[in-house]
Structure 1
């Protein structure tokens, strides 16, 4: 049942009665801080009688008066203290907010005023018999009733129990009418009926289940079943915890630790609650469910979900095979960027959406776009920039032109509404994202989620639950970094990861700023996921740095120097050291090996190390936090040149080969003289990515690099102003720049076909040769002979690979300088890749010409 339907059926909740000023509630230790309606005895005076005990864990007997029953307005500022084990008649003036608590002998019905001499409940739950209601306060009658959810259940109240004076609700407004219509209810479970015989207002409030409450929850959040939903919240600092379900308050009680959880408050509400709206309150503060599976856009209201109703049409396809993690070739892309431009060929309604990414058969001028492009390129994984519910760009999709990457989490387990075609159809919103994953799987492509557990959009996301969610020192650079050293916070992250794999069939996670976490916690997450999904070969990797913060726990965080401790759990990190050796810096014009700058690449030695997967050597005296050789397994090295951050590959190459470049302190471009000829810059792009595709580890591509995507405004790359957006942003950091900067323009695939062909050919070569994807550091040490010939001064690095699992031996040459001749290993060789991509020059032996600024690959059949 959706309890929000109750109002239409003539039942008012605590927050939905008629005049707002009439909604006043008692909340205190006497009723475990639930919201009990006061009785209105005059225009401004409300009364109740309450029997107080000894108090609760928070202190002695006390209370407040709460307007609307949601803690949004309550009196007095500090709790009103009373004596223990005493009854009080309490009067409240809604005009002056004065409270008068008078001690009385008891709160028995005999002392209460009334208009009706008696009152009876009659309805389907009691076969229309007359069940007496109890006078509990002045003019206030109550009875707890169990509704079993039968068809057409309904009721009335009857003054004498003989139908001579009975009341229903003809108008459905929460007020009784004599001889009025039956009051209908579709709910199931226990409800408290309250009737005021002076105002004729009535309420029906769901009562928390306390025993025989169905299957126990095995996790936090809202655990749904057809008979009811169990709601659980971690609250380590406060015991005043409640659930507000469709406006109805349910007190939550602390439960015994279960399934590794502690300090948990829980309540179960009976009935089919699929799609019911809810939130929690802690000490009267409204808070979202950190485990929520769906959310109302632009709010902290969550939705109860029966996720079984959200499966993709036709059911789940099998997950594409991945024999070993080194086989992965990752393609990073932003959901909106991929299809929002008309050149994508995607249907207008699907552009920038989940279903647009997987629309088959799209083309631009005869070349494949969208998902068919991904298949043609040959990548094995798509890494999606954040697709969980994020806070910026509020408003339903397309209500404004706002753009954001999404690194500002609001609800970790909820698909972002801006990428859905039906954001308010909660079932379909989830189904659309599942369909995206499913269609990519059908295409042979796995899905990696970019997850941002290191911070939230603002502290208000969780701090009203507990300040323990956040680190004392800001580590993320956002002011609200998450403290995963707190066990229940670490467990929340682990549970969220497991949920995405179980529910949405996600195949891996890219962790934003994984460096703010202690490697021991990350190891727990990896060990848990791999034990739960042993056949999935999940990819787990992240950025081993933080937000430029000084960290008192630096030594225990994820860094190059601690990555080897996570090898057994199959966790890797981005190899920024190799990236910078190849290209130079990220946001300026400094260059590296691919530009023939040998000093930046440590005269080729950093390339030598990166080519073999940056293996850790315990005997190397240079070892430390940031030393470039750090992996205990090649899968721990994510090899890349560009990603969403910083200049994209083509923009970096173009800018670095321009002259008269002037940048301000925010990396914006004040002036530049473009390269006179683009042939060499295009060659540099191929050279750099050729190294990525032929190095040990896991290869990574940023969307559009394969056809020289520029993120300058409207692709006006030769104009300095087109590189900038706002005061600080622009091409080097387009996190909030509009589509004119970020959208992928598919005509570039036509215009830069040679670059696309090179990427496709090198990916195909990598997939064809296991020798480029060896499985352990020991195998690399045994079957890869590297050389940095002294006669070339560091400009040439070679690797001779004799991996038994490959049908061919390989000889890979990186040449950053001019054309040179190199000595081939013994035997006959075929050149299979050069500066232009795939090649086929057989019968080579002795020495061979290798072009400058190029990766050349030779193969030798066994």
Structure 2
């Protein structure tokens, strides 16, 4: 008796559609002539079905025999024992679906079908059926037909066999669709279902693509696990192998190749019936379990994904109105780490929410009478928070979250899954998603948009994707992390685009900061930006990244994102961090070298980099200095992200403190071996205001690192005066605290009390910017017309001024940067009011012709029209 196991029975259409045929019928013939595949019976009356088959011989399990199968999946079949017949005989087989009676009448070459024929039988043999014998049906005079699934494997091919024993077989020697006896294998490059016909009189054959019609995957518009309450469609890109399956709640289902769709290629799919919300699943490629690159939830510390009905994760009261953003230049970005923001008890955040998504947005928190948390951000006046990585990263995955492990999160593991350590209920998958959405929604209610820091440039290790395809990774490590993602591969680039779209659509994210965007070709980044801005045209999404790689030599250097190629991305609204302006303001990142804000104007620059930065570092096609790293690169001011410090390198206060210290000794890893504290911290605070004052009054988009507004230090327990407190481990420390504990990284909110004057300055300058359109012009042409920048020769580059006459304001502005001592500077004609100085907002009226401006300061004047 022919038997099948229970697991195969559950696979229903998988055997039908992925092995030999995908046909629509009520009853199927299965037996030794077709290697127990499926051939649809022809309905001849309301309850009668027929087929004609040639039984050449038996198989390894017995003589010639057959069964009738109700659904083609062995769940209902007749008779109970295999129906035995004679060898080398043709039989007309009749089945009564009412009585389940079967008859087999010997006939002469199946001529009882009424169709003329030359071949007594015909079998398809090829890679789709592992070169077995699948009987073709005589459907018209001299016309044989079969529907075959091609899975896209390498060198897929086939031939035709008359008797199923290779004695008389046909191929095609000339690729002319005419069969030649013992001819060459016929190659097929497509994927999906194809109808194959053979005329046994003319020997002409055709291969015609056709859609699958029974038990085929539901149409979906993305990969991964696409849920519905009746079935989930599982799809994965597999360019290397056609041996693809998915294990769902312990049951294995084979995937079949599907025709290219929606820009995807080499995709395998299967639909699994039932409501699979919260079901566990893993894709299997050549039997190896792999994670779903499109997975939206994962079982902690595994590569087992979770099916999600995301409709069950909506925020309690519905989505709030997204904060308005008229132009991207209106943005003021605040970079912060979720754990840092509230983990310290001084945050005032409830104990259960500290270091969590919901700790970011708890309202009413204070420390010694000053606002903390989200209320602090509202008071400061920023428009966007940029969250350090909040997708699922590899380190610190111990649960519950009761160990001291810390990480920034630049070690991606699952791009589309919220990090579990920031959830109060990490194993409640629905609520973990809902907490993240609630965080975004509460920021929106507070008038603050949310930017995600995304790390598509590399993964924690190559085993994230390598078992799926080595094509995910570049041949050389461009990220300096052990691997880098190759977005020049079309389906890899599409994965990144789809991930970005998912976060915007599902979580309401308002923009992305790309880690090491410089490993990507600008043409691919343009595709992502174009797609996102077309689909979400009303969002004014912010897209920007680091235009460098991980110190790698790159054969494709000329096509990567660099200062010199940023202009190509202007229509897609993609910008980059302006490291050239940053270093012109402060000097180097991890040492004690100083620049403009320290009253150090080097002869090589003489203030010209500050002059250009104030203008938004505008690109000029006629400038002979243009090149890969030339500082004037922005084809639109929104392309210049202006900043002094970020999570990498020394923060603002630590950089100032170390640069003003004496007897500083650092090793090659930038660790501090010795120092003598600065003599004048008042001057150091003045420098902080000066540097950020330049950022906040320059054209472009300003960026603030969390805590800079109250002189945060990332030395261990804030012992900034002790050399050893600057170091962590063998190489890390204050300049790179990616895995240092909370004692280094957590925000200590008492600093807002002790450095209130600095906070007030940041707040005042942010308010100044938000209230004066002339400080945030929207195009290079507007800047060229309404901003006159000067570098008075008599001050040797120490003074740079900007006269703003933008008609969107009802007044002119005059901005002065003074890197020297107190100076008298000439004002444009008229009566001016001083509205900002080194202490923040001021109001000194009746100034004309000449004004005294303090050194190490930004001074701003206003004149009504």
Note the C-alpha offset of 1:434: 0.1
Equivalent of 2:665 in 662, 666, 682: 662
1:524 matched residue in structure 2: 527
Give distance in 2, aligned partners of 1:401 and 1:32. Answer: 50
Name the counterpart of 2:696: 693
Contact (CA 8 Å) 2:31, 2:66: kept in 1 or not?
A: no
Q: Show the counterpart of 2:543.
A: 540
1:466-615 equivalences in 2 (<5 Å): 466-599=469-602, 602-615=605-618
Q: Distance in 1 between matches of 2:6 and 2:595?
A: 67
User: CA–CA distance in 2 between the matches of 1:390 and 1:839?
Assistant: 46
Displacement, 1:395?
1.2
Structure 1 counterpart of 2:447, from 431, 444, 449: 444
Residue 765 of structure 2 is matched in structure 1 by 762
Residues 245-644 of structure 1: matches in 2 within 5 Å? Answer: 245-599=248-602, 602-644=605-647
Give, in whole Å, the separation in 2 of the partners of 1:566 and 1:243: 39
Please tell me whether the aligned partners of residues 14 and 247 of structure 1 are also in contact (alpha carbons under 8 angstroms). Answer: no
| Residue aligning to 1:216 | 219
* Residue 673 (structure 1) aligned to one of 672, 676, 687: 676
Distance 1:277 1:671 in 2: 54
Question: Which one of the candidate residues 853, 857, 861 is aligned to 2:860?
Answer: 857
Q: Tell me which residue corresponds to 1:197.
A: none
Matched position secondary structure for 2:618: coil
Name the CA distance, whole Å, in 2 between partners of 1:13 and 1:300.
27
CA distance in 1 between partners of 2:222 and 2:277 (Å): 18
Of 317-326 and 476-485, the range deviating more from structure 2: 476-485
Contact 1:800 1:811 in 2 (8 A): yes
- Return closer, same or farther for 1:106/1:597 CA change in 2, 3 Å cut-off: farther
Which residue number in structure 2 is paired with residue 204 of structure 1?
none
Partner residue of 1:730? 733
- State the Cα distance separating 1:719 from its structure 2 match: 0.2
In 2: Cα distance, 1:428 partner to 1:571 partner: 33
- Report the secondary structure of 1:489's partner residue: helix
Contact 2:17–2:256, Cα closer than 8 Å, also in 1: no
In structure 2, the partner of 1:185 is none
CA distance in 1, matches of 2:661, 2:6: 68
Q: CA deviation at 1:134?
A: 4.9
Are the structure 2 counterparts of residues 52 and 348 from structure 1 closer, same or farther at C-alpha, using a change threshold of 3 Å?
Answer: farther
Tell me, yes or no, if the aligned pair for 2:521 and 2:559 is still in contact at 8 Å: yes
Contact kept? 1:634, 1:775, Cα under 8 Å: yes
Q: Which runs of 5+ in 2 are unaligned?
A: 21-29, 38-55, 84-211
RMSD of aligned C-alpha atoms?
Answer: 2.8
| 1:777 partnered with 2:780 | yes
When residues 107 and 497 of structure 1 are mapped into structure 2, their CA distance, relative to the original with a 3 A threshold, is farther
For residues 766-813 of structure 1, the C-alpha deviation after alignment (integer angstroms, 9 at most, x for no partner) is 000000000000011110001000000110000000001112210000
Partner Cα separation in structure 1 for residue 723 and residue 6 of structure 2? 60
8 Å CA contact 2:802, 2:816 repeated in 1? yes
8 Å contact kept, 2:17–2:216? no
Give the match's secondary structure for 2:703: strand
Structure 1 pair 53–650 and aligned structure 2 pair: CA distance change class (3 A): farther
Structure 1 residue 399: Cα displacement = 3.3
Distance 2:62 2:813 in 1: 94
Q: Do 1:51 and 1:106's aligned partners in 2 also have CA atoms closer than 8 Å?
A: yes
The CA distance in 2 between the partners of 1:86 and 1:421, in whole Å, is 66
TM normalised by structure 1 equals: 0.78
Q: Does 1:844 align with 2:847?
A: yes
Q: CA deviation at 1:53?
A: 7.7
Partner Cα distance (1:755, 1:601) in 2: 32
Note closer, same or farther for the CA distance 1:783–1:31 as it changes in structure 2 (3 Å cut): closer
**Structure 2 vs 1, CA of residues 653 and 429 (structure 1 numbering), >3 Å: closer, same or farther?**
same
Q: Which secondary structure does the structure 2 equivalent of 1:717 belong to?
A: coil
* Secondary structure in structure 2 of the residue aligned to 1:393: coil
Question: Can you list the C-alpha shifts for 1:108-127, whole angstroms capped at 9, x where unaligned?
Answer: 699xxxxxxxxx99xxxx9x
Aligned equivalents of 1:54 and 1:133: distance in 2?
18
How far apart are the structure 2 equivalents of 1:805 and 1:54? 79
What SS does the aligned partner of 1:278 have?
strand
Looking at structure 2, the residues matched to 751 and 291 of structure 1 have their Cα atoms a distance apart, in angstroms, of: 47
CA pair 403-259 structure 1, distance change in 2 beyond 3 A: same
Contact kept in structure 2, 1:484 and 1:521, CA below 8 Å: yes
Quote how far apart the aligned CAs of 1:480 are. 1.6
Cα deviation, residue 498, structure 1: 0.5
Q: Which moved more, 1:611-620 or 1:390-399?
A: 390-399
Equivalents in 1 of 2:737, 2:365: separation in Å?
26
Give the structure 1 partner of residue 92 of structure 2.
Answer: none
Of 432-441 and 804-813, deviating more is: 804-813
- Confirm or deny: 8 A CA contact 1:53 1:86 kept in the other structure: no
Is the 1:29–1:52 Cα contact (8 Å) retained in structure 2? no
Structure 1 runs (4+) greater than 2 angstroms displaced? 12-15, 28-34, 49-56, 85-89, 103-110, 130-137, 209-215
| Cα-to-partner distance string for 1:719-752 (whole Å, 9 max, x where unaligned) | 0000000000000000000000000000000000
Corresponding residue of 2:158: none
User: Which of 791, 802, 806 is residue 788 of structure 1 equivalent to?
Assistant: 791
Is 1:769–1:808's contact at 8 Å kept on the other side of the alignment?
A: no
CA–CA separation in structure 2 for the residues paired with 1:320 and 1:808: 27
Identify if the C-alpha distance between structure 1 residues 424 and 830 changes in structure 2 by more than 3 Å, giving closer, same or farther. same
TM-score normalized by the length of structure 2: 0.78
Shift of 1:479: 1.9
* CA contact 1:331–1:381 (8 Å) conserved in 2: yes
Give the whole-Å Cα distance in 2 for the aligned partners of 1:314 and 1:802.
Answer: 45
What are the residue-to-residue correspondences of 1:9-88 with 2, within 5 Å?
A: none
| Counterparts in 2 of 1:300 and 1:685: CA distance versus 1, 3 Å | same
Write the deviation string for residues 605-645 of structure 1: whole angstroms up to 9, x where unpaired.
00000010000111111110000000100000000000000
Give the distance between the partners of 1:695 and 1:380, measured in 2 at CA: 17
CA distance in 2 between partners of 1:440 and 1:13 (Å): 52
**Compared CA separation, residues 853 and 50, structure 1 to 2 (3 A):** farther
The structure-2 alpha-carbon separation of the partners of 1:651 and 1:238, relative to structure 1 and needing over 3 Å to count, comes to: same
CA deviations over 1:189-245 (Å, ceiling 9, x no partner):
xxxxxxxxxxxxxxxxxxxx9725585111111111111111110101100000110
Larger radius of gyration: 2
